[in-house]
Structure 1
């Protein structure tokens, strides 16, 4: 199985849509990695959806449980920070963490973020 890096947008898709998610089928044949920042970014997206009324509190609670149980190996951001800083002219520091981890693993970033996919097409796999 090859490595794949999961970003927060794809993680949100996975924990809210489950096995029906395009993220779920894309992850099936991979060892999944993510920088630690994926957790608070995904939680922030869940929170925003609850506050806007787009997601029920109970659904968000279940999504948090799924996120906690997801078979994702988390990488320390400390070791990614210098290389992430070098990408500051192309992507945000948040997105750079995913890209740098993908570079280190010779992998792609699974994302639902079209802007990120356009910025770094050689390292991303866009889901819809």
Structure 2
């Protein structure tokens, strides 16, 4: 066991000294992915709190937009979370393919830097 731990640590030191910038990039990706997941969760919480008819697509776009603004890790987290949610929604909740398609359109729009306000319904409180 000690030999394995020593080998892993030695490998890490050798790799780290060989290319610290790649490790920093990988760490940044993970950090951005975690932040992106938080952005997605915050948009979901706001959507639930607002409970506003017709605001679903806005919150989809906003969550993806906020996450993607963090960088590649945030965009990756937004894509994974959005795709998993839409898969669950179409398989379990019974919502139709049209709703899933519209949600994915809003997801991609936000993730690609589009203004989430494109989907903002009239009358949604400015808090959101």
Higher CA-based Rg: 2
- How does the TM-score come out when normalised to structure 1? 0.35
Greater relative CO (CA pairs within 8 A, separation 6+): 1
- How does the TM-score come out when normalised to structure 2? 0.35
